[in-house]
Amino acid sequence: MKSPADLLAEERTAALVRLEALDAEIAELRIDRGRESADDEHDPEGATLSGEWSKLAGLRDAAAAELVDIDAASARLADGSYGVCIDCGRKIPAARLEARPTATRCVDCAAKAGG
């Protein structure tokens, strides 16, 4: 079993790689949107540039939020509060933290909170 620090480091690396890839796709799409010949609104073959932009922006926002969660979990690890439920104060099961290293609630409290 990997340590929480290792799991968080892996998660952080994966989130940064996703952010970099999404930023590259957004930059490419920005170039496409600037072209006068990019009349995709009338293209029956696929998604519009606006639709693609919205999708990529949403994915980027989610990856950035994940990075914030990972950094917060790393801070909890550093201050000794990692693995403690923010609602009830009980220890979060290791299996939950292994599956979801950024978890802030135990299973029961997460279910009550709707997540």
Beta bridge partners, 91, equal 84
Half-sphere exposure of residue 77: CA atoms within 13 angstroms, side-chain side: 17
Confidence of residue 78 (pLDDT cuts 50, 70, 90): very high
Per-residue pLDDT at 50:
82
- Please report which confidence band the pLDDT of residue 79 belongs to, taking 50, 70 and 90 as the band edges: very high
pLDDT of residue 68: 98
Q: What is the pLDDT of residues 9-66, one digit of tens each?
A: 999 999 999 999 999 999 998 887 776 555 555 555 556 778 898 999 999 999 999 9
Q: How many CA atoms lie within 13 A of 101 on its CB side?
A: 22
Domain boundaries, the chain: 1-82, 83-115
Alpha carbon distances (Å) from 64 to 78, 79, 92, 113? 21, 23, 25, 23
| E strands in the chain | none
